[in-house]
């Protein structure tokens, strides 16, 4: 289950150093490629290519 709020369809608010599964695509994990830290949270992340191809 994704413990994050969708900001855009390919950008999520995530917690640093964590992996998440997407409800829409079971057993598919989000890969955090780069981070912009704000208040201890990861506020921007690129999804793994395996997820992006579905958008």
Which tens digits make up the pLDDT trace of 20-42?
555 555 555 555 544 444 444 44
Classify residue 31: in a domain, yes or no. Answer: yes
Give 14: exposed, middle or buried? Use CB within 10 Å, 0-12, 13-18, 19+. Answer: buried
Q: How many domains does the chain have?
A: 1
Continuous H helices in 1-55: 49-52
> What distance in Å separates the CA atoms of residue 37 and residue 53, rounded to the nearest whole number?
26
Classify residue 43: in a domain, yes or no. Answer: yes
Q: Which residue has the higher pLDDT, 20 or 4?
A: 20
pTM score over 0.85: no
- Expressed as residue numbers, the domain containing 13 is 6-52
pLDDT band at 17 (very low <50, low <70, confident <90, very high): low
pLDDT band at 19 (very low <50, low <70, confident <90, very high): low
How far is the CA of 55 from the CAs of 9, 10, 35, in angstroms?
8, 8, 21
CA 54 to chain centroid, in Å, comes to 14
Classify residue 29: in a domain, yes or no. Answer: yes
């Amino acid at each position: 289950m994704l413990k994050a709020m969708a900001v855009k369809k390919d950008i999520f608010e995530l917690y640093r150093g964590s992996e998440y599964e997407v409800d829409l695509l079971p057993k598919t994990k989000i890969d955090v490629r780069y981070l912009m830290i704000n208040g201890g949270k990861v506020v921007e992340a690129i999804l793994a290519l395996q997820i992006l191809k579905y958008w």
